[in-house]
Structure 1
Amino acid sequence: MAMLEVTSLGISFGGLRAVDELSMKIEEGGLVGLIGPNGAGKTTVFNMLTGVYRPTDGGIRLDGQNLIGKKPHDICKMGVARTFQNIRLFSKLTVLDNVKTGLHNEITYSLAESLFHVGSYRKKERAMNERAMELLGVFGLESVADYQAANLPYGKQRKLEIARALATNPKLLLLDEPAAGMNPNETAELMETIEVVRKRFGVTVLLIEHDMKLVSGICEYLYVLNFGRLLAEGTPGEVLKNPEVVTAYLGE
């Protein structure tokens, strides 16, 4: 059984068919790309996978469990985390506290413990701090843990958003254009980081990306969307040589 199985997925907004008859499978531990030109429906797919949009038709299963109709926070608890094309950090919180916001799937305490710092509050806070610092260390961000998130360089903000997503302990990590706005050196570093994350945490990755060097460098399999429909699928070598993909996506 595939970890993620999407079957004949579709969604309409009024008279617009944004995604139509999309089917794809992602095996546990895989690193898969979802590519296509602007407006192809890629982010709409992510919004359906995470419960932001409810599909008009089709199915989504994670380890055999139905995700259709589930709320975003329930889907997160089931093991799906995401980042966004436009970074969505808590800009006024510290780097450490941004990561800690993602840990509440695993470490929780009551309202009374939170307000009065009683019971197991201090023990759980220590555990959260240690776990958050461990994640920051993976991304080389431990030295800026006390910085306000808004004061980080753009590339580090991207890494912080991924670290926060990992804090939810996901099975499946959805990365929406993680290299957007990065320079070539930052992109190369990001590629290495994604590989480390996958191997160290055993997380399955589905990413949307326009940087073909990144896509061809780390993705094992690609799905190509065009006007909401699946245009092609296969290994990066197969897909990026497909004449239809070249015409639709690369504009040649």
Structure 2
Amino acid sequence: MALLEVTNLGISFGGLRAVDNFNIKIEKGQLYGLIGPNGAGKTTIFNLLTGVYQPTDGTIALDGEVLNGKSPAQICQSGISRTFQNIRLFHEMTVLDNVKAALHNQMTYSLADTFFRLPKYRKKEDEMNRKAVEILKVFDLDSHADHLAANLPYGKQRKLEIARALATNPKLLLLDEPAAGMNPNETAELMDTIKLIRDQFDITVLLIEHDMKLVSGICEYLTVLNFGTELASGTPNVVLNNPVVITAYLGE
């Protein structure tokens, strides 16, 4: 059984069909790419997968659990986490606290424990601190733990957003243009980091990306979207050399 199975997915906004009859199967442990020109419907699909939008038709199943009708918070608890094309950090919080914010849904203590700083609260806070630092080390951000997120360079802010998404303990991590705004050295580091995340944390990754060097360098399978429908699917070598894809996506 595929980890993510999307069947005949569609959504309409008024008279506009934004996504139509979209199907995808992603196996556990895959690095999967969703690509296509601007306006093709890629982020709309991410919004459908995470409950921001509810589909007009079709089904979304994660590990056999149908997610239709669930809220974004419920879907996050089921095992899907995401980043955004435009970075959404808590800029006035520290790097450490950004990651800890994502860990709170896994910690169980009462309001009284928190208010009176009881031993259970202190123990859970210590656990969160340790786990947050461990995650930051993966991204080489642990030395910035006490810095404000707003003061990080752009590339490190991108990494911090991925770290925060990882802290929710997802089965499937959705990355929306993770290399946007990065320089070539940062992109190369990001490629290594995404591979490490998959291997070390046993997480499946679905990413939207326009950087074809990154896509061809890490993705094992691609689906190309155009005008809300699938244009082609296959391995990167096959898809990126498809004349139809080149014409529609690369404009050649």
TM-score range, shorter chain: over 0.9
Report the CA distance between 1:112 and its aligned residue. Answer: 1.7
Counterpart in the other structure of 2:246: 246
Instruction: Letter of the 2:243 partner, please give it.
Output: P
Instruction: Letter of the 1:181 partner, please give it.
Output: G
Secondary structure (helix, strand or coil) at the match of 1:18 reads strand
Counterpart in the other structure of 1:86: 86
Counterpart in the other structure of 1:116: 116
Counterpart in the other structure of 2:144: 144
Answer yes or no: is 1:43 the counterpart of 2:56.
Answer: no
Secondary structure (helix, strand or coil) at the match of 1:120 reads helix
Counterpart in the other structure of 1:160: 160
Report the CA distance between 1:203 and its aligned residue. Answer: 0.2
Counterpart in the other structure of 1:4: 4
Report the CA distance between 1:106 and its aligned residue. Answer: 1.7
Counterpart in the other structure of 1:231: 231
Instruction: Letter of the 1:167 partner, please give it.
Output: A
- Equivalences for 1:89-104 in 2 at 5 Å? 89-104=89-104
Instruction: Letter of the 1:3 partner, please give it.
Output: L
Identity rate of aligned residues, in percent? 73
Report the CA distance between 1:119 and its aligned residue. Answer: 4.1
Q: What CA distance in whole angstroms lies between the structure 1 residues aligned with 2:105 and 2:27?
A: 24
Counterpart in the other structure of 1:16: 16
Secondary structure (helix, strand or coil) at the match of 1:199 reads helix
Counterpart in the other structure of 1:196: 196
Q: What CA distance in whole angstroms lies between the structure 2 residues aligned with 1:101 and 1:108?
A: 14
Q: Cα RMSD over matched residues? A: 0.6
Q: What CA distance in whole angstroms lies between the structure 2 residues aligned with 1:8 and 1:34?
A: 16
Structure 1, residues 25-82: CA drift from partner, whole Å, max 9, x if none?
0000000000000000000000000000000000100011000000000000000000
Q: How many residues align?
A: 252
- With 63-72 and 101-110 compared, the bigger mean Cα shift is at 101-110
Q: What CA distance in whole angstroms lies between the structure 2 residues aligned with 1:109 and 1:36?
A: 45
Report the CA distance between 1:115 and its aligned residue. Answer: 2.0
Instruction: Letter of the 1:46 partner, please give it.
Output: F
Q: What CA distance in whole angstroms lies between the structure 2 residues aligned with 1:107 and 1:167?
A: 12
Gaps of 5+ in 2: none
Instruction: Letter of the 2:134 partner, please give it.
Output: E
Counterpart in the other structure of 2:30: 30
Q: What CA distance in whole angstroms lies between the structure 1 residues aligned with 2:78 and 2:108?
A: 16
Instruction: Letter of the 2:250 partner, please give it.
Output: L
Counterpart in the other structure of 2:183: 183
Gaps of 5+ in 1: none
Q: What CA distance in whole angstroms lies between the structure 2 residues aligned with 1:233 and 1:76?
A: 27
Secondary structure (helix, strand or coil) at the match of 2:37 reads coil
Answer yes or no: is 1:59 the counterpart of 2:72.
Answer: no
Report the CA distance between 1:113 and its aligned residue. Answer: 1.6
Q: What CA distance in whole angstroms lies between the structure 1 residues aligned with 2:66 and 2:26?
A: 15
Q: What CA distance in whole angstroms lies between the structure 2 residues aligned with 1:114 and 1:93?
A: 19
Q: What CA distance in whole angstroms lies between the structure 2 residues aligned with 1:219 and 1:241?
A: 15
Write out the 4+ residue segments of structure 1 that deviate beyond 3 Å after TM superposition. Answer: none
Answer yes or no: is 1:214 the counterpart of 2:209.
Answer: no
TM (norm. structure 2) is 0.99
